[in-house]
Each structure stands twice: as structure tokens, then as C-alpha cells.
Amino acid sequence: MPFVVDFLEGQGVVCLTLIGSITKNELETSRGEVSRALNDNTCRRLLIDMTGAEPQQSLTQDFQFTSELHRHFPAGTSIAIIIPAQETERMKFVKDVASNRGVKTGIFLDNKSALSWLIGD
């Protein structure tokens, strides 16, 4: 699988690390595993590390996937996404879609800033 889901117990954060080429089906599978981890750990903080990922989705697919997050994750879940700099514009779109559906989302270029925002949330 091109993803890993962990629970950072000391910080109360579920972490999804995406690795390499990621298809729509793999994103949907990872979303299910993240949802279980959030529920199993009674956690409302999600850190997504996309720095090693190569997403294969179109903007339309990004919109559709992101539009459904609020249905899959517990209410009040905050998401911090770490991205490579070249994905900034695309991920601003994803952030706006999520925010418009009530999912608090932040976009960051490094782990430290993302965790600070998420834990300070």
C-alpha cells in the first residue's frame, strides 16, 4: 500500500503518510483506515504528509473526494496537510473545498508548523 496510518499517541494525532503514486482507489482505502483510526482513538486531529506522494487525480476528482470528507470523519476533525511547495495552488483548492463543508483544514510546507497548528487547535 502506498500509505501508512499511525496514531501519534503522545500528541493525540492520527497521521496518514502518502507514498509514491496514489490512485483514487488507494485514497478511498486510506480514508477508511484513517476514519477507523480517528474513531478507535477518539481523536479529532489528522496530519496528512503528502511530501512523498505523487497524486494521480484530476481537480474534479480532488473536488469529489474532498467534498465527502465530512461524511467519513468524526465531526470536528481538523486536518493539517504537509505538501511539497509545487502543490500549493492545487492544495489551496482542496483546503477551500474542505472548509466550505465545515472541515477545518490547514496547508503547510513542514511538519513542525503543521503539528503546531493542529495541536494548538
Low-confidence ranges of the chain (pLDDT < 50): none
Which CATH number does 3-119 carry?
Answer: 3.30.750.24
CA atoms within 13 A on the CB side of 113: 8
In this prediction, residue 42 carries a pLDDT of 95
Q: pTM for this structure?
A: 0.90
Q: pLDDT digit string (tens) for 80-107?
A: 999 999 888 888 988 999 998 989 999 9
What sign for the dihedral angle of Cα 72, 77, 83, 86? positive
Q: Provide the residue ranges of all domains of the chain, joining segments of one domain with +.
A: 3-119
